[in-house]
Structure 1
Amino acid sequence: MSFTSFGWPLPALMAWSVCWFLYSLLRLKTGLPLWAVLGLVTLTGVLLSLLGGTWWRRLAIGLGFPLSLFFSGALSLPAWAWLLPLALLALIYPLNAWRDAPLFPTPEDALNHLPEVAPLEPGARVLDAGCGLGHGLEALRQAYPLADLHGVEWSRPLAWWCRRRSQSGGIRAHVARADMWEVDWSAYDLVYLFQRPETLPRAMAKAAAEMRSGTWLVSLEFEATGYKPTAKLKTTAGKPVWVYRWPAVATSPLTPMDKPRR
C-alpha cells in the first residue's frame, strides 16, 4: 500500500510523525549541531511533500514540522531561521514551474496501450516534457522498450533525483535539467505531457510551431481543447490518454494568448 493511498489528512500526519521521530532521534543519538538537525529534518519533510496530491497538500506536509516546532515553543530561534523550509520548498519547486504542473506522477501501466495507436520505430526519440521524478519515463519505457527516451525537468533536485532513478532502475533515459518550453520538440517522434489544463494551449501552440508531420503529442488526463484527438485511451487509473498526431486538426483557431512564449 502506498503512502498516498491513505485518505487525507493521514499522509500529512504520517509525514509529520516521521519528522518528529527523526528530530528526536538526531537530538538524542547524535552530536550534530542544532542547525544541522533542523536542516535535515526540514529537508525530510520537504521531500515527503512530493507525495502530496495537490499544491496545498504539499505545502501542508512540507511546512508541518517547522510550524509545529515554532508553535510548540520548544526552541528559540532567530526569525531568519524559519525561512529555511520556504527556501527548501523553493529549491524543490522553482517559482517559474508553478505555472506548469507542480508534480503529477504518471500512474503505473497508464501508457501500455499507447503503441497500439501511436506506433514507433525502434530507436525513435521520445520526450517526457516535465519528467518530475521519472514516473512518466518508467511508463514510456514499459510501452516503448526500444525507444530512445529523454526527459527534461526544470527543478534541479527533481532532475537529479530522476536521473538517479533512471540509472538505478533500468529506465535507460537521458534526463536533463532544462525548461521544457525552451527545448526544441522538432527532434522528437513523440512528446509526452502530464500538465495542467491551463498549460495545454501553450503546449499545442509550441507543437504547431516545432513538431514534424507524422509525430505524436500525448497528454495524460487532460484534453487539448480546440483540437480533435487521433485517439483516446482509457486507463485502469481512470485517467484518459489523449493522443494527437501532427499536424493535429484544430477545431478552433489559435488566439494570440495560445502562442508559445519564449
Structure 2
Amino acid sequence: MPLIRFVLSQLIAWAVIFAALKLGAPLSGFALALSQGALAALASRALGAPRWWHAFHLAFTPLVWAASGLGISAGWYLAAFTVLALFYWTSFRTQVPLFLTNAATTDAVLDLLPKKSARVLDAGAGTGSLVRPLAAARPDCQFVGIEAAPGPWLIGRLLAAGTTNVDWRRGDFWADDWAAYDLIYTFLSPVPMAEVWAKAQAQMRPGARLVSNSFAVPAVAPDFIVPATEAGGRELYVYSPAAKGKAPIKG
C-alpha cells in the first residue's frame, strides 16, 4: 500500500538520522533535512515504490524545513491540508488523482454515445465536467456520475442541480453494478486499469463500451483509439469488454 511504504520510508530515514546524531554526526538545519530526504528516497527505492515517490521523499523534509522559517501561521497549513484532503481524499491509496475532462474530449465522447437512448456512467466523475455537457447535448440519455472526494462531488452537485437526466452520486464506483450501462467512461491512472478491465468484463453487457481517457488497459487491444488530435489532446481507448474472442496483446 503506498501510504504504508511512504510512512515506512520516512521512519527508516529518521531512525538512521537519529542514530547518526547519537554517534556525533555534525548534522543540523538544511544538511539534516537533506540527508533525511536522501535516506527516505533510498528507502523508498528499496521498498519498490514507484519512481516518482523517490523524488517526493527527497524533497519532503527539506521543504518542511524551509517552510518552518517563513513564519506562516500553523492555521494556514491546516487549511491547505483540509482543502487538499477534500479534493484528493483517498488518492494516496487509489493512486488516482483528480483529472478534469476538457470540452474537446467531451465532444469526442459525445460522438461515441449510442444513437438511441442510453445509460452512461462516468466512474470517478470529478466535478461533472463530462456528464453535464453530455446531458445537455443528449436529453434522451441518462447520465450517472460517481465521485468519492467530497470537494469535487459538492461542486458537481451544485452545478448539476436541476439537470433531470443526471444522477449525481458520492461514493465508490467499484461498488456499483456496471451491467446497467451502455457506455462507461474512466479518466483514472495506469494503476487501476487492470482492475477496471476485470470488472468491465465481468459485468458489462454485450454491445456496451468502455472508454478510457489517456490510460490503456494493459495487454489488451482496444477496438479502436480516438487520436489525441481529435480528443482534446489525450487519446481515448475504446473497448467492448463483453465481446467474445478478444485476445490480449502478447508482450
Letter in 1 for 2:183: L
The match for 2:151 is 157
Whether 1:183 and 2:181 are equivalent positions in the alignment is: no
| Seq. identity, % | 30
Point out 4+ residue stretches in structure 1 off by more than 6 angstroms: 66-69
The match for 1:45 is none
Shift of 1:69: 8.1
Deviates further, 222-231 or 94-103 = 94-103
| Deviation digits for residues 146-203 of structure 1 (CA, Å, limit 9, x no counterpart) | 21011000012221111111127x5841111010111111111111101101211110
Change (3 A) 1:132 1:87: same
Superposition TM-score, scaled by structure 1 size: 0.60
The match for 1:197 is 190
Q: 1:238 aligns with which of 215, 233, 240?
A: 233
Change (3 A) 1:82 1:197: closer
Superposition TM-score, scaled by structure 2 size: 0.62
Mapped partners of 2:203, 2:70: distance in 1: 54
Mapped partners of 2:72, 2:211: distance in 1: 51
Shift of 1:114: 4.0
Contact 2:190 2:215 in 1 (8 A): yes
Mapped partners of 2:161, 2:247: distance in 1: 42
Whether 1:220 and 2:216 are equivalent positions in the alignment is: no
Shift of 1:131: 0.4
Change (3 A) 1:223 1:90: same
* Superposed CA RMSD: 3.2
Contact 2:90 2:149 in 1 (8 A): no
Mapped partners of 1:81, 1:224: distance in 2: 41
The match for 2:89 is 94
Mapped partners of 1:81, 1:144: distance in 2: 44
| Deviation digits for residues 185-223 of structure 1 (CA, Å, limit 9, x no counterpart) | 111111110110121111000111111111111111222
**Greater Rg over alpha carbons, structure:** 2
Q: What are structure 2's unaligned runs of at least 5 residues? A: 1-52, 54-63
Instruction: Report how many residues are paired.
Output: 185
